[in-house]
Amino acid sequence: MRRRVAAGMDKPPNTFSAESQRRGTMQRLLWVLAIAFMLSGCAARRDLVVLLPDPDGKTGSIEVSNQGGSTVISEANSATEVKSATSAPKAVAKMDESEVRAIFGEALDAQPSPPEHYSLYFKSDSTELTEESLRTLESVFSAMARMKPSEVTVVGHTDRTGSREANFQLGLERAALVRDLLVSKGVDQGLIEVRSHGEDDPLVKTDDGVPEAKNRRVEIVIR
Partner 1 sequence: MKKMLMTALSVFFLIMSASAADPAAGFLKTVKGTASIIRQGEAIPAVVGAKIFKDDTLRTGADGSLGVTFLDDTVMSLGPGSEVALKDFEFSPAEGRLSIFVRMLKGTAVYLSGIIAKLAPQAVRFETPKANIGVRGTRFAVKVEGDAQDVRR
Q: Which residues bind partner 1 (CB under 8 A)?
A: 41, 44-55, 59-66, 73, 82-85, 89, 100, 103-115, 150-151, 223
- CB closer to partner 1 out of 42 and 210: 42
- CB closer to partner 1 out of 88 and 181: 88
Residues across the chain:
223
Quote the least distance from Cβ 15 to partner 1, whole Å: 35
- DSSP per position, 93-128: EE--HHHHHHHHHHHHHTPPPPPEEEEEEB-TTSSP
Quote the least distance from Cβ 163 to partner 1, whole Å: 22
The angle, 0 to 180 degrees and rounded to 10, between the axes of the packed helices 12-44 and 2-10 is 50
- CB closer to partner 1 out of 8 and 112: 112
DSSP 129: B
The angle, 0 to 180 degrees and rounded to 10, between the axes of the packed helices 131-147 and 164-184 is 50
Measure the CA–CA gap between 77 and 93, rounded to whole angstroms: 9
Quote the least distance from Cβ 14 to partner 1, whole Å: 38
- CB closer to partner 1 out of 61 and 126: 61
